[in-house]
Amino acid sequence: MIDEAKGIPVRVALRCRPLVPKEINEGSQSCLSFNHGEPVPPVIVGTEKAFTYDYVFDPMAEQEEVFTVAVL
């Protein structure tokens, strides 16, 4: 049974949320940027850290798109 668990790949999806009105009113800005030209773009946090995921959805992604791409 343990060997079976090793054979199941884990896929990681990231869906970034838009700023909420309170954050916008306080002058907050998103610290994330996306390199849209790549198949699965890395997500840049600030200016120094980059993370790569199996699926990346920006704040404008609709729920149906996230489900269709990442789950089905």
The domain limits of the chain are: 11-70
The pLDDT value given to residue 20: 92
- Exposed, middle or buried: residue 53 (CB in 10 Å: 0-12, 13-18, 19+)? middle
Per residue in 37-63, pLDDT (tens digit) is: 555 666 666 677 777 788 888 888 888
The pLDDT value given to residue 43: 66
The pLDDT value given to residue 17: 86
> Which amino acid, one-letter code, is at 51?
F
- Exposed, middle or buried: residue 56 (CB in 10 Å: 0-12, 13-18, 19+)? buried
Q: Which residue has the tokens 């946090």?
A: 45
pTM of the shown model: 0.58
Reading the block at residue 47, the tokens are 């200016």
Per residue in 8-33, pLDDT (tens digit) is: 777 888 888 888 999 999 999 887 77
